[in-house]
Amino acid sequence: MTAAVLYEILQLAGILAFAISGALVGVRRGLDILGVIVVGSFTGVGGGILRDMLLGVHPPVSFTHWPNLAVAVAGSLAVFFVHPGITRIRYFEVVFDAFGLGLFTANGAAIAFASGQTPLTAILVGTITAIGGGVIRDVLVNTVPGVLTRELYAVSAILGAGIAVGVVALGGSETLATVIGGACAIVLRLASRKLGWHLPKPRMRETPATGA
């Protein structure tokens, strides 16, 4: 298997993971088959479209490279017909979302850095690509996006993007960077959920001092 094929597979795997997470949310919300396909597909390719709009790639790759949309639609359809029962569906949403997050953040950062952007810009591009699909999914179904509420969500994305940039800076290929950075992000995200790691929350004074 050549590097190019492996690379394409990694990209499609990220799209598939996000599409599945989106379709699962659609199924849980009781959408019809096309609603499930729409939310699944937008979740799968939405982050990449946002990235292309930010970087000035017109039209976005997912509009012209048909496998991206095909994989997203196929994943959504599969979820419509085969999915876990209501009590388990949220768990699978989180797991597939974590895989999409990790693959997209590392891949986006590696591409951007390899194409000559600074490390800061590359990490931002990767993080926004990864978070974008999930935000589109959550805004569509009218929920507060997971990036604001899930354990170590943005931290995992930033970490994965940073590691991917580091791998490319040390001479690794974009494929290697995607694998290593993605794996770190996925592990951190799922471990933080499993172990209930939280970042500190603000201390709210319910009875503020006079005139505060």
3 state DSSP class of 211: coil
CB of 2 to its own copies, least distance (A): 26
Q: Binding residue for its own copies (CB under 8 A) from 6, 55, 77, 94? A: 55
Q: Which stretch binds its own copies (CB under 8 A): 11-19, 96-104, 139-147, 175-183?
A: 139-147
Residue with tokens 């729409």: 38
What number of other Cβ atoms are within 10 A of residue 107's Cβ? 30
Q: Does 2 bind its own copies (CB under 8 A)?
A: no
Q: Which of 185, 22, 18, 190 is nearest to 100 (CA)?
A: 18
58 binds its own copies per the rule CB under 8 A: yes
The least CB distance from residue 155 to its own copies, in Å, is 6
- Which stretch, 10-18, 94-102, 178-186, 194-202, contacts its own copies (CB under 8 A)? 194-202
DSSP-derived secondary structure for 157-171 = HHHHHHHHHHHHHTT
Question: How many amino acids of this chain bind its own copies (CB under 8 A)?
Answer: 66
CA distance 179 to 10: 8
Of the pair 157, 186, the CB lying nearest its own copies is at: 157
Interface segment toward its own copies; rule CB under 8 A; list 84-92, 96-104, 173-181, 182-190: 84-92
206 binds its own copies (CB under 8 A): yes
With H, G, I as helix, E, B as strand and everything else as coil, classify residue 28: helix
Contacts of residue 103, Cβ cutoff 8 Å, sequence gap at least 6: 10, 11, 13, 14, 17, 178, 182
Q: State the Cα–Cα distance between residues 65 and 76, nearest whole angstrom.
A: 18
| CA–CA distance, 168 with 121 (Å, rounded to integer) | 14
Judged by beta carbon, residue 107 or residue 175, the one nearer its own copies is 107
HSE-up of 170 (CA within 13 Å, CB side)?
10
Q: Does 64 bind its own copies (CB under 8 A)?
A: yes
Window of 4-12, 97-105, 136-144, 165-173 that interacts with its own copies by CB under 8 A: 136-144
Q: Which residues contribute to the site for its own copies (CB under 8 A)?
A: 26-39, 49, 53-56, 58-60, 63-64, 66, 69, 80, 83-88, 117-118, 120-121, 124-125, 135, 139-145, 147-149, 152-155, 198-202, 204-209, 212
